[in-house]
Amino acid sequence: MRQFKLSRRMFLASTVASVAFAGKIANAATPKDAQIENIIANMSLEEKAGQLSIFADGTRSNNPNINPAAAKQGIEEVKEQIRKGTLGSLFSAKGAEGAREYQRVAIEESKSKVPLIFAADIIHGCETQFPIPLGEASSFDLDLCERTAKMAAFEATAVGIQWTFAPMVDVARDQRWGRVAEGAGEDTYLGNQIARARIKGFQGGDLTSETTVLACPKHYAAYGAVQGGMDYNTSDIPETTLRDVHLPPFKAAFDAGALSTMTSFNDINGVPSTGNHHLLTDILRDEWGFKGLVVSDYTADEEMIKHGYAKDGRDAAKKSIIAGCDISMQSHLYNLHLPDLVKSGEVPMEVVDESVRRVLYVKKQLGLFENPYRSLDPKREKTDIRTPKAIALSREAARKSAVLLKNDNNILPMKKSGQKIALIGPLANDKYQTLGTWAIFPDYDNAVTLEKGLRNQISNQSLIKSVKGCEIEKPISGGIQKAVEAAKWADVVILAIGEKQEMSGEAQSRVEITIPKPQQDLAEAIAKTGKPVIIILSHGRALALSGAVKDANAIMCAWFLGSEHGNGLADLIFGDYSPQGRLPVSFPVYSGQQPYYYNHRPTGRPQGPKDERFYKARYIETDNVALYSFGHGLSYSKIEYSKPNLSAKTLNFTNSIRASATITNKGKRTVKEVVQLYINDNVASLTRPVRELKGFKLIELAPGESKEVSFEISATDLAFINHDLQRRAEKGGFTLWIAPSSVTGEAVGFELV
């Protein structure tokens, strides 16, 4: 890959260049292949546009509401389009048998005989669901993230899917944005690691395998930075922040072998991503050498009209293809306009050919030319879904993804007998509320609720009294009274409250990231009984907790943990395992602090713990701190960290130093500990975050055991994107912490010389 230096002036120029054909195709030209060249040479413009078009398959979808337009199509209509070559891929449906027949038509009855790809949003599992991605990120367990992605691919390929629109690698620093649920949270370093693990899991290092899927890191780019956390909104981001914070997880995913990506709905600094030549060509192809394909998000090319960036569909198609968006999803704009745009000379044929070449190249990498029926085996559909191994993995992932925020007087874990439990709340026994957003092929029947999970583990069923108390967003007449009676009867209350699954995910932004009022009222009433309360939160984002919820004896983040939600939680509640989850997003004190993220830059007037409140960077109502910061999470043991020890006080640009700390389990249980390395660059040419995660290690500690955990640090770890958009480290002082969260630990200093 050639070295690339982009000045700010060049950046502006390239943004403007996206309006007209930039005059050259990306430097990272797709490798030429005789078979592919031959196909392209014999294709009509209409067939080329077809290869560059993907549509939802309403004929096999289990949820026609997702796409009513597609649902109206019949099988014969779809076959006719395949025959004519006007579509190149289908998505949002499953079923190996049906896919096989469509594939047969493509390779036997279409002129160019190019196989289709079958895609779907396999976001956190196929039929066996794993925790929502944000929940799973809490495990800080890369091996787990890889294994669940691998299992998701295994099940997806068993139902005839070859391409997943996942993982979502958008860094999300504003918890009002509903899609934070789909990613790895607010931190770039963690996002990079998880992106890599998920790509490895989905693609398995062998794209031709019958049991792997093509991954599609999305949404390129800066979708997680939409203003006000409102979905689809504008992102205004300096190029430095874009490259420092938002782009690295994409680069990590491509370096791990991802061969497709999806544009985002938002505009960045005025240019919608789907028409953004700077993003899709200058950075992606020229700078990074990406050889895969770019697909638009759902009608995102057409939406450039409403953005005010394209005059009409024809203009939108032209801007998208020239910017470097290879496939148009669902809008039909490429079918409708590309042939004519080429004929009129507005879009050079070579631009279209290069996009077709990329698509065919990816199809070839998937092994589809040799084996068009790969992953379309109806037999596997019967044997490879919800296998005992998949269910066990789902349970393991569930218990590793819950985060224990608070545990006063070690109220958790609980005994399995001898205590009366009032299980209260609308999220205690609702199967529909276990899987979370983007469970595209959900199996609610087999989903394990919290109540079921708890009951599975106790022998005397009369020890649990279950009362709903209220609906998620509505009171139930007499509900609170019944709940209070149950609480009075019990020794301990488990209160299952939070968000319903539709409160996070696409188009589910919230203004107040709080517990809905009827549930807050329920919690307040329960608190008045004086009984110990354990809160189990269901949620797709960090929440601003208050009142009786915040003051409960224990709080556990349960996100939406997937098919084995309740069993995984019961494993923790009854202490068969200790929680290992740590927060991948900060819980603010108030919603109004958003966007709040731990790795913010320092102001000139930070408020220290003992400082006066006036004339400091804070709010009238609260210090600008988190209630529970990124990285926080308790286990069932007491873990102590020594002060970090450095192998040397200085390093230069060619060597490295080792930072280590001794971590000791002072408690009585074997636990997993997420040891976190944070660094601050004291003085730099651009102000740097107060702390940044630079490494983490997941270790197991037996009671009384000590382990030395160490991290190698070189100048590369200290580099950031500077004014000239170069990633460089700068000489000077740094502070380092090896700590159990982003706000704890003892600091030590070192210098880069």
Interface positions with ligand BGC (CB under 6 A): 92, 121, 165, 218, 297-298, 506
Work out how close the CB of 124 gets to ligand BGC at its nearest, in angstroms, rounded to a whole number.
13
Residue 160 has phi, psi (to 5 degrees) of 85, 30
Of all residues in the shown chain, the one whose CB is closest to ligand BGC is: 165
Residues 6+ apart with CB under 8 A from 375: 96, 118, 157, 158, 160, 161, 162, 210, 211, 213
> Minimum Å distance from CB 93 to ligand BGC?
11
Measured from the CB of residue 232, what is the shortest distance to ligand BGC in angstroms? 9
H-only helix segments in 386-543: 388-401, 450-457, 479-489, 517-528
Please say which residue, 92 or 466, places its beta carbon nearer to ligand BGC: 92
Q: What is the amino acid identity at position 304?
A: M
| 260 versus 586: smaller Cβ distance to ligand BGC | 260
| Distance (Å, whole) CA 314 – CA 164 | 29
What is d(CA 96, CA 381) in angstroms, rounded to the nearest whole number?
Answer: 7
Q: Which residues face 672 on adjacent strands? A: 700
Residue 88 or 579 having the CB closest to ligand BGC: 88
Is residue 297 among the annotated active site residues? yes
* CB nearer to ligand BGC: pick between 297 and 430: 297
Catalytic residue among 174, 231, 286, 297: 297
Helix, strand, coil % in the chain, rounded to nearest 5: 35, 20, 45
Tokens representing residue 494 in the block: 């488990």
Smallest separation (angstroms) from ligand BGC to the CB of 273: 12
Q: By C-beta, is 106 or 181 nearer to ligand BGC?
A: 181
CA 262 to chain centroid, in Å, comes to 14
Minimum distance, C-beta of residue 179 to ligand BGC, in the bound complex (Å): 8
Which residues, in sequence order, are CB contacts of 175 under 8 Å at separation 6+?
A: 229, 513, 541, 542, 543, 585, 588, 594, 595, 596
The least CB distance from residue 709 to ligand BGC, in Å, is: 37
Nearer to ligand BGC, 234 or 429 (CB): 234
Pairing of strands 117-120, 163-164: parallel
Closer CB to ligand BGC, 127 or 451, in the complex: 127
**Six-digit token string for 749:** 């200093």
Closer by beta carbon to ligand BGC, 119 or else 552: 119
Query: Coil, strand, or helix at residue 721?
Result: strand
Sheet strands (E) in 260-327: 260-262, 267-268, 271-272, 293-295
* Minimum distance, C-beta of residue 506 to ligand BGC, in the bound complex (Å): 5
Least distance CB 299 / ligand BGC (angstroms): 8
Cβ neighbours of residue 737 closer than 8 Å, sequence gap 6 or more: 644, 676, 677, 678, 679, 691, 744, 745, 746, 747, 748
Query: Which residues, including other chains, have CB under 8 Å from residue 448's CB and lie 6 or more apart?
Result: 434, 456, 563, 564, 565, 566, 567
**Shorter beta-carbon distance to ligand BGC: residue 298 or 696:** 298
Considering the complex, state which of residue 298 and residue 678 has its C-beta at the smaller distance from ligand BGC. Answer: 298
CB 92 to ligand BGC: min, Å: 6
Residue with Cβ nearer ligand BGC (57 or 121) = 121
Work out how close the CB of 537 gets to ligand BGC at its nearest, in angstroms, rounded to a whole number. 25
- Tokens 């060249």 belong to 37
Give the residue among 279, 215, 180 at the shortest CA–CA distance from 595.
180
Q: How far apart are CA 369 and CA 597, in angstroms?
A: 47
- Six token digits for residue 307: 């953005």
Nearest to 562 by CA among 392, 388, 365, 378: 392
| DSSP track, 390-404 | HHHHHHHHHHHH-EE
Task: Output the 3-class SS for 193-247.
Answer: HHHHHHHHHHHCCCCCCCCCCECCCECECCHHHCHHHCCCCCECCCHHHHHHHHC
Six-digit token string for 156: 């997806």
CB atoms within 10 A of CB 116: 24
For the record, the structure tokens of 672 come out as 């997993």
- Any idea what DSSP says for residue 263? B
Q: At what angle do helices 313-323 and 333-343 cross, to 10 degrees?
A: 80
Q: How far is the CB of 183 from ligand BGC (least distance, A)?
A: 11
Where in the sequence numbering do the catalytic residues fall? Answer: 297
